[in-house]
Amino acid sequence: MGKIFIFFIATFFVFGCTSKFAKIQKSNDYEYKFKMADEYYDSKHYVYAQQLYEDVIPFIKGTNKYETLFYKLAYSYYYQGDYINAENLFKTFTETFPSSNKTEECEYMRASVYYKQSPKIDLDQTNTNKALGLLQAFISTHPTSEKVKDANKLIDECHEKLELKEFSAAKLYFDLGYFKAAAISFNSLLEDFPDTKHGEDYKLYVIKADFKYAEMSYEIKQKERFEKVISEYSDFIERYPDSKLLIAAKEYSELAKNNINNIQK
């Protein structure tokens, strides 16, 4: 009985809200509709607020209320999780009201909306790259903004995601036995993410991949390819002289030297 009663009350409440909104939406008094849109917005009923704001745009456009309407409309979409429309509205806001004291905020929000749309690492990272570009542009344009700290945090997260995606591709090459492609990919990781915390691991993967590629090669090509292993080890020492992976890297270098000696006998 209790559950039925609660369901009845909830249904009645929803119906009542919908009925009230329908009456407001049918009204020809746009000032009243605008006032109610603000009330819905303040009470976080963003679906209703969005619809009413859109209803009154033709009447409010060009007045001193238009900027506030547009600003709240963008956030109404944002809070509903409709990031495509929110991004477009934040962008349009910055273009329509370039002198507004809210323009800086909307520039940041546009970038953060792209970040919100950034997918899992195994999917296309177009939105991650767009977020990265817009966040970097925001910091360049507003270096003293209070949002710079937040923007830098999102940039770090974007870099981590892009790095992880690139690592996954390189590791897949390695696991599938495409060692030449793996070595190239891990070296690209080091170039693309010079400040990575995983540089030693990537460099060791380069050495291992080069060694395995040399092992698989025709004898006529082995010497030069084992020499590349030794060269990569020298680069490892130069980059990471105190690395805990130094012993493992050295083992591959020593094996490469032994193989070269055997080839030359």
Ranges under pLDDT 70 in the chain: 1-18, 265
Q: What residue spans of 61-147 are helical by DSSP H?
A: 66-79, 83-96, 103-116, 126-141
Looking at residue 64, its pLDDT comes to 93
Task: Express each pLDDT in 183-199 by its tens digit.
Answer: 999 999 999 999 999 99
Q: Report how far residue 225's alpha carbon sits from residue 215's, in angstroms, rounded to the nearest whole number.
A: 9
Looking at residue 131, its pLDDT comes to 97
pTM over 0.85: no
For residues 87 and 113, is the Cβ–Cβ distance under 8 A?
A: yes
Looking at residue 20, its pLDDT comes to 82
| Cβ neighbours of 28 (radius 10 Å) | 6
Looking at residue 24, its pLDDT comes to 86
For residues 259 and 226, is the Cβ–Cβ distance under 8 A?
A: yes
**What is the 8-class DSSP label of residue 136?**
H
Tell me the three state secondary structure of residue 198. Answer: coil
Q: Report how far residue 155's alpha carbon sits from residue 151's, in angstroms, rounded to the nearest whole number.
A: 6
Looking at residue 13, its pLDDT comes to 44
